Each structure stands twice: as structure tokens, then as C-alpha cells.
Amino acid sequence: MKNLLILGVGRFGYKIKETAHLCGYEEVVFLDDALKDKEVVGKWCDYLQGDTYFKTEYSEHNLMRTRIQFRLSEEME
């Protein structure tokens, strides 16, 4: 199962989610410090401080998601 955690909903968050679904991602959710939405699973600031209240499939799940987001943001620069 391919999952994606998007950091911040922002202007294009939902377009990214739609594209991710088309690319085969089954679960796509957001971290966002400001927005309250059913698809926002938590706050980025809490996640950085080590709060682990996100659903995981295995122990390194959230770490993997975060590393992927950092790589994607580096590629966008």
C-alpha cells in the first residue's frame, strides 16, 4: 500500500492529493499547523517535536513519510 503525507495543505495541496491518487497512492493525508480539515491528521510542529499520534503500519512509517517529503521539497527548489 502506497501512502503519502503532505506537509501543509496550501494552495495546491488538494491538487497534489488528486495527482497522488492517480499515481497509485491509496492514502493521502496532510499535516498542517493552521487548517482544520478531516484530511489533516495533525500539526507539523507537533510531529517535529516527536509527537507520534499518527496512525502507522510499522515503527519507521512516519519517519519514511517525512524523509520523502524532504526529498520532494529539495527537488522542487
Q: Is the pTM of this model over 0.85?
A: no
The dihedral over CA atoms of 60, 66, 3, 28, expressed in degrees to the nearest 10, equals: 140
Mean pLDDT for all residues in the chain = 77
What are 24's three cell numbers?
497509485
Task: Report which secondary-structure segment, H or E, holds 74.
Answer: helix 61-76
Top mean-pLDDT range of 6-10, 43-47, 52-56, 66-70: 6-10
Residue 13 reports pLDDT greater than 80:
yes
pLDDT of residue 40: 83
Give the domains, in start order, of the chain with CATH numbers. Answer: 3-76 (3.40.50)
Torsion of Cα atoms, 2 then 65 then 60 then 71, to 10°: 120
**What is the model's pLDDT at position 77?**
59
Residue 58 has pLDDT above 80, yes or no: no
- Phi first, then psi, for residue 70 (nearest 5°) are -65, -45
Nine-digit cell string for 34: 493552521
